[in-house]
Amino acid sequence: GSQRDVVIDTGLGLRSLPDYLRDAGLLAPAEGAGPRPLLAVATHVHFDHSGGLQHFEEVAVHSAEAAALQRGDNYEAVTWLSDREVARPPRPGWSARQFRVPPVRPSRLLQEGDVISLGDRQLTVMHMPGHSRGSICLHDKDRKILFSGDVVYDGSMIDWLPYSRISDYVASCQRLMELVDRGLVEKVLPGHFNIFGAERLYWLASSYIAQAGFCHKISTCAMRSIASIALRVTNLRITSQ
């Protein structure tokens, strides 16, 4: 932006993302001044999106998940990391079993309809629960771009985590379809996998709604129970270390 920069999701945080951005020359200075203010926005608090928030001075998250972030709740952050997923450990002797999302105090709590102003562009907050209770999308209306986090990406949508809710996900998918019907989105930048367009967005959202029937709810309930137990055991082990 012309007045402020924003980072949408921050990864695991095994290394400092702000340091990388500065070293790579990606944080251009404001005209006649120092670097522009930098805001880190978490689309939700799951560990692979929020672990790096600790390295930022300004942090924004939806109010529904602010308390979990502030207390370092690795159950709600669904922290589950293995050594094979880490290409290069941050330091000698480090193990994925040591990883956890640290407590971070948000400097801004987001709600539906809030606008994050970067100067020459505006990002509108859309609360889209389902994957998690505080999941958001950021909508650049002028450019018709949707930063969708894990609300939707070109893959199977996950709705079986402890704070997932199928009925919320269906409602969020209906909103996504409405964005396409109204011609408000042409490009989706998701939290995982590839960028895609409006037609694919409509198909992904409508396909989820079509399969979210009784049988899906039963199988999802079973998966959620298993995931919940596994996460609680993992977090007990982390806490006792």
Sheet order of strands, 136-140 included: 115-117, 122-127, 136-140, 145-149, 187-190, 196-197
Q: What tens digit of pLDDT does each residue of 77-121 get?
A: 999 999 999 999 999 999 998 899 999 999 999 999 999 999 999
Query: Residue 238 domain-assigned?
Result: no
Query: Residue 226 domain-assigned?
Result: no
Query: Residue 239 domain-assigned?
Result: no
Q: What is the CATH number of the domain that holds 45?
A: 3.60.15.10
Domain with 144, as residue range(s), is 5-215
Query: Residue 227 domain-assigned?
Result: no
Give the Cα separation of 101 and 32 in Å (integer).
37
Query: Residue 234 domain-assigned?
Result: no
Quote the tokens at residue 183: 């011609």
Q: What tens digit of pLDDT does each residue of 37-80 get?
A: 999 999 999 999 999 999 999 999 999 999 999 999 999 999 99
Query: Residue 222 domain-assigned?
Result: no
Query: Residue 240 domain-assigned?
Result: no
Number of domains, the chain: 1
Give the Cα separation of 26 and 21 in Å (integer).
5
Query: Residue 232 domain-assigned?
Result: no
